[in-house]
């Protein structure tokens, strides 16, 4: 299987963003991609007001756009993440969707971990506009067991181990990593999740400046189960692609069977510090 990670510089203009995503998806398909991953909030990226204005239901207009493109290009697509509006709820969801070559929506994953942090003097408060999901997802992408995560989830290894135990062979990671955290941690964390779980990581990032005053690191990556970087994007809107060698993955898992050596009976979650029984 050939996988592609699409790197975009999205903003609050949904039409512009979809046009740029379509151009790069067509290029990736022409390069032989069977599976492509778009970045986080690829259809609309901005401040809380921009997100609310651009939010839509799932399924909705953006998934319809993705479905038509997947049918035409015979492509499996992780439509990055979409800013989802949920009827009857004033909080949005950060939702990654898997669309198949049949044009059907095969899975949806809602980002579990919200980015409420201070980075380089800038405050990020995703919880002001968004609510977290509560379900780990492994989907069938044409015979490939594909785990689905989004951006900040990368810092929570439990999610990726659960995916691996459920049979994931690859994980999609739409992201919009900040520049300071990206420089320090992005490649290290993507490679670590690949090595720990002996999976392929397809990490598609946003690049450059976005409203209101944020900047994303880019450097989209495709990493193999040994932790080798198969492809890395330059500092521009583009796609990178690599062939996923599942025979090599099987060999790694047979020779270094760390997943098989797990001892779940010995793993007991500690109580939080200060908790009493």
- In the set 111, 126, 130, 215, the catalytic residue is 111
Cβ burial of 13 (10 Å; 0-12, 13-18, 19+) is: middle
Per-residue pLDDT band at 254 (split at 50, 70, 90): very high
Per-residue pLDDT tens over the stretch 186-207:
999 999 999 999 999 999 999 9
CA max distance for the chain? 59
Domains and CATH numbers, the chain: 2-261 (3.60.110.10)
pLDDT value at position 271?
84
Which candidate, 207, 258, 257, places its Cα nearest to that of 42?
207
118 in catalytic set: no
111 in catalytic set: yes
Rounded Cα distance between 204 and 39, Å, is: 5
Per-residue pLDDT band at 93 (split at 50, 70, 90): very high
> How many other CB atoms are found less than 10 A from the CB of residue 89?
10
Q: Does pLDDT of 99 surpass 60?
A: yes
Per-residue pLDDT tens over the stretch 197-249:
999 999 999 999 998 888 999 999 999 999 999 999 999 999 999 999 999 99
- In the set 12, 14, 40, 130, the catalytic residue is 40
Rounded Cα distance between 211 and 7, Å, is: 17
40 in catalytic set: yes
- In the set 126, 151, 215, 237, the catalytic residue is 151
pTM reported for the whole predicted model: 0.96
């Amino acid at each position: 299987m050939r996988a592609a990670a699409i790197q975009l510089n999205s903003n609050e203009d949904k039409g512009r963003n979809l046009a740029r995503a379509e151009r790069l998806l067509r290029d990736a398909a022409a390069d032989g991609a069977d599976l492509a991953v778009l970045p986080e909030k690829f259809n609309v990226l901005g401040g809380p007001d921009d997100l609310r204005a651009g939010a839509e239901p799932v399924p909705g207009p953006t998934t319809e756009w993705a479905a038509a493109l997947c049918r035409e290009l015979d492509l499996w697509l992780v439509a990055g993440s979409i800013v989802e509006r949920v009827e009857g709820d004033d909080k949005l969801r950060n939702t990654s969707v898997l669309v198949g070559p049949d044009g059907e929506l095969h899975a949806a994953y809602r980002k579990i971990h919200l980015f409420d942090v201070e980075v380089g003097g800038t405050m990020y408060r995703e919880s002001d506009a968004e609510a977290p999901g509560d379900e780990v997802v492994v989907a069938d992408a044409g015979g490939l067991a594909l785990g689905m995560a989004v951006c900040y989830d990368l810092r929570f290894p439990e999610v990726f181990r659960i995916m691996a135990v459920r049979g994931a062979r690859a994980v999609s990671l739409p992201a919009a990593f900040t520049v300071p955290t990206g420089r320090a941690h992005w490649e290290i964390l993507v490679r670590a999740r690949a090595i720990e779980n002996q999976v392929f990581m397809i990490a598609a990032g946003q690049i450059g400046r976005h409203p209101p005053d944020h900047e994303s690191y880019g450097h989209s990556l495709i990493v193999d189960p040994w932790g080798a970087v198969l492809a890395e994007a330059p500092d521009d809107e583009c796609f990178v692609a690599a062939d996923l060698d599942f025979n090599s993955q099987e060999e790694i898992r047979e020779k270094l069977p760390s997943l098989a050596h797990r001892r779940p009976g010995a793993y007991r979650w500690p109580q939080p510090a200060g908790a009493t029984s």
